[in-house]
Amino acid sequence: MKRLALLLAVMIAPMLSCAEKQKIGTLQESDHVVVKHSEVCVAASEEDIAALFDRWNESVQTGEPRKVVANYAQKSLLLPTVSSKPRVTALEKEDYFHHFLENKPSGRIDSRTIELDCNSAIDEGLYTFTFSKTGASVKARYTFTYKWDGKQWLITSHHSSAMPAEEAPPEVPHHAVAQHSEECVAATEDEIAALFDRWNESLKSGNPHKVMVNYAPRSVLIPLSSTRPRLTLDDKEDYFHAFLKKRPVGSVISRTIVLNCNTAIDEGIYSFAFGNNGPEVKARYTFIYKWDGEQWLITSDHSSVLPAKE
Topology classification of domain 41-182: Nuclear Transport Factor 2; Chain: A, (3.10.450)
Between 3.20.20.70, 1.10.3430.10, 3.40.50.300, 3.10.450.50, what CATH number should domain 2-37+184-305 receive? 3.10.450.50
Between the alpha carbon of residue 7 and those of residues 64, 200, 265, 305, the distances in Å are 36, 18, 24, 8
Return the bridge partners of 114, or none.
Answer: 123
Q: Where in the chain is CATH 3.10.450.50?
A: 2-37+184-305, 41-182
User: 269: helix, coil or strand?
Assistant: strand
User: 202: helix, coil or strand?
Assistant: helix
Residues 6+ apart with CB under 8 A from 112: 50, 123, 124, 125, 126
Distance, C-alpha 301 to centroid of its chain:
6
Is this prediction's pTM over 0.85? Answer: no
Reading the chain (310 residues) residue by residue, the pLDDT tens digits are 434 344 444 343 343 333 334 344 444 444 566 678 889 999 999 999 999 999 999 999 999 999 999 999 999 999 999 888 999 999 999 999 999 999 999 999 999 999 999 999 999 999 999 999 999 999 999 999 999 999 999 999 999 998 765 544 455 556 787 888 999 999 999 999 999 889 988 988 999 999 999 999 999 999 877 778 899 988 999 989 988 888 888 889 999 999 999 999 999 999 888 886 777 888 899 999 999 999 999 999 999 988 877 7
Helix H segments across the chain?
A: 2-10, 46-61, 65-69, 90-100, 189-193, 195-204, 208-212, 233-243
